[in-house]
């Protein structure tokens, strides 16, 4: 009795099998790239270098360094603004590195039939 639907012989056709292997290989590469990205650090400064921050590839703040001249009790707003500016720039750098990784990994997907 012939099977209804599916593929003749019950197997996956060669092209589909190759596609699955390619997807698995790409998934492994993505995982390796993500692990590598998580170990990287991205630094930025603001306030003429008076505020320096570092974030990691997981987008976690790992350090904040302040020069003495930025700490003025009469001008807390400048300190706050400088910290925000430096943190946001470091996070943009981490995001750009992540997007670059994704672009490299998915660059060949344009020809896939989905």
Q: Digits of tens for pLDDT over the chain (114 positions)?
A: 555 555 555 555 678 888 888 888 888 888 888 888 888 999 999 999 999 999 999 999 999 999 999 999 999 999 999 999 999 999 999 999 988 888 877 775 554 554
The pLDDT of residue 20 is 87
Q: Are 72 and 109 in contact (CB under 8 A)?
A: no
Q: Is 93 left (phi over 0), alpha (psi -120 to 50) or beta?
A: alpha
Torsion of CA 52, 54, 60, 66, to 10 degrees: -30
């Amino acid at each position: 009795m012939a099977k209804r639907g599916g593929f003749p012989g019950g197997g996956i056709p060669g092209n589909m099998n190759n596609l699955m292997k390619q997807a698995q290989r790409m998934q492994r590469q993505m995982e390796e790239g993500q692990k590598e990205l998580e170990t990287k650090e991205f630094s930025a400064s603001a306030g003429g270098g008076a505020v320096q921050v570092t974030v990691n590839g997981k987008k976690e703040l790992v350090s904040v360094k302040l020069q003495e001249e930025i700490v003025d009790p009469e001008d807390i707003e400048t300190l706050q603004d400088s910290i925000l500016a430096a943190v946001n720039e470091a996070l943009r750098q981490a995001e750009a590195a992540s997007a670059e990784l994704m672009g490299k990994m998915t660059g060949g997907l344009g020809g896939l039939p989905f």
